[in-house]
Amino acid sequence: MPFIPHTETDVREMLAVIGAPTIEALFDEIPPALRAQPLKQVPEALPEMGISQLMHARAAQDAVALNFIGAGAYEHHIPAAVWEITTRGEFYSAYTPYQAEASQGTLQLLYEYQTMICALTAMEVSNASLYDGASGLGEALLMALRANRKNGSGRVLIPDTVHPRYRDVVNATTGAQGIESVILPFDASTGTLDLAGLDAHADAAPTAVVIQQPNFFGQLEAVDAITDWAHARGALVVAVVNPTALALLKPPGEWGAQGADIVCGEGQPLGAPLSSGGPYFGFLTARQALVREMPGRIVGRTVDLEGKPGFTLTLQAREQHIRRAKAKSNICTNQGLLVTAATIYMSLLGPEGLARVAAASHRNTQTLLGLLTAIDGVRAAFQAPGFHEAVIVLDRPVAPVLARLAGQGILGGMDLTADYPTLGNALLVCATETKSPEHLRQYADALRSVLASTQ
């Protein structure tokens, strides 16, 4: 039940003062056809005990399955301290820190988060989070369009190996704002961008080139060559990265001769539990020269009149975000609570701990790939280095196989048939540090059994 502080007497007195007969009369300029109709499908309200019983029954329907799905949201171990601290009242109920004098704790945490994300990506500036990784890519491309005065065509080169849902979001959020997405093909043997195909766009004056590392298939792109190619033609480089992978891989700020220009990605691997596909939170970093084009909130460190250090929102006024078409962004939501969890997660693990998570995830995926491809009717789609995801190809349709595995309590991966029909019966699988050798063998044994029983 919503809390409405006004009594019926209060409402009558206020209406009398302004000369309106009813509250509905205040909205008489809205045509009846545009007004929300009664929610006929919503059941009658339940008392507290009834709603508690209903929600417990719903929660009991959730089965705990052995999960081998990745595709942008990953099941990592989250130390208990992360959410024990995150859900303390000081963080859990904190509002956007516009009033610095009342928000020093939140501001300092966001500043530390920005510092850590900059260190991870080897970039110079970071904002204080975005709505999610997919919308973060859209924001990064609009940022590139504003910043690249030399190549202002709005033409953006996006490899087909970039997450298909990210590409959908980019089209939805930027298609009417001057961005034209040009999809680049991938090499069928490596699952990475076909570098020869880049030259077909050498004279197109692209505004930006997108590189996802690792890419959607889990494969490692030739980031140095692509970055230098883009810069040689006046394009900005927008990197989409997995933050866990950055514990092992070269950071975007060191790609090629000059490094990437803008870096974005999904922050979910940094301490956010899986939750119905999200949203989680997006991160965005860039070179210092582009900071004025960066959407979202930025926290800076300063000193007060007594010389004591303090923190405040900087470079942008709140009004920048509520100017509709003139705003840098209208969806640059600060996912503050998840950023809090990410900051605590990174603080607890540190560089060495994050590297161990990444190494264990990579090792488990390689082990899983070996176990699965030893089964008759299963082969690896690509022969190239990857991270903690891989694509396998089955000798039969994927959907029925996944359904049979789900019946045994195993989420076997993501069916790629609809998004990448040229790969055949392709299945994207993932293994993080949460999978034990027994888990890997259990999946392989179950898949072998399913394939043998459906000949």
Q: Please report the pLDDT score of residue 395 as a whole number.
A: 96
Tell me the longest C-alpha to C-alpha distance in the chain: 81
pLDDT band of residue 45 (cuts 50, 70, 90) is: confident
Q: Please report the pLDDT score of residue 321 as a whole number.
A: 65
**8 A C-beta contact, residue 452 and residue 404:** no
Query: Per residue in 167-176, pLDDT tens?
Result: 999 999 998 8
Lowest-confidence region among 14-23, 88-97, 186-195, 214-223? 88-97
Dihedral pair phi/psi, residue 11, rounded to 5°: -65, -45
Helices then strands, counting H and E runs in the chain, come out as 12, 15
User: Which domains are seen in the chain, by residue range?
Assistant: 66-73+350-453 (3.90.1150.10), 80-344 (3.40.640.10)
Mean pLDDT throughout 414-418? 98
Higher pLDDT among residues 455 and 192, named by residue: 192
With 80 as the cut, is the pLDDT of residue 268 above it? yes
Mean pLDDT throughout 283-293? 96
With 50 as the cut, is the pLDDT of residue 1 above it? no
Query: Per residue in 86-115, pLDDT tens?
Result: 999 888 887 778 788 888 999 999 999 999
Mean pLDDT throughout 132-142? 96
- pTM equals 0.88
Label residues 324-342 b or e (16+ Cβ within 10 Å = b): eeeebbebbbbbbbbbbbb
Residue 300 β-bridge partners: 312
Mean pLDDT throughout 243-249? 98
Q: Please report the pLDDT score of residue 319 as a whole number.
A: 62
With 70 as the cut, is the pLDDT of residue 375 above it? yes
Closest CA to 394 of 412, 380, 409, 413: 380
**8 A C-beta contact, residue 370 and residue 379:** no
Query: Per residue in 197-241, pLDDT tens?
Result: 898 898 889 999 999 999 999 999 999 999 999 999 999 999 999
Mean pLDDT throughout 330-341? 84
With 70 as the cut, is the pLDDT of residue 2 above it? no
Mean pLDDT throughout 308-323? 80
Mean pLDDT throughout 284-296? 94
Q: Calculate the average pLDDT of the chain.
A: 93
Helix (H) or strand (E) holding 135, with range, is helix 133-147
Q: Please report the pLDDT score of residue 320 as a whole number.
A: 63
Assign 328 to helix, strand or coil. Answer: coil
In sequence order, what are the residues at sequence separation of 6 or more whose Cβ sits closer than 8 angstroms to the Cβ of residue 325? none
With 60 as the cut, is the pLDDT of residue 359 above it? yes
Q: How wide is the angle at C-alpha 48 spanned by C-alphas 42 and 51, nearest 5°?
A: 45
pLDDT band of residue 20 (cuts 50, 70, 90) is: very high
**Which pair of tokens denotes residue 326?**
């003139």
Lowest-confidence region among 13-27, 232-246, 437-451? 13-27
Sequence length of the chain is: 455
Percent of the chain with pLDDT over 90: 78
How far, in Å, CA of 276 to CA of 55, rounded? 16
The Cβ-side half-sphere exposure at 259, using a 13 Å CA radius, reads 16
Query: Per residue in 30-40, pLDDT tens?
Result: 998 898 888 88
Q: Is the dihedral of CA 266, 267, 271, 273 positive or negative?
A: negative
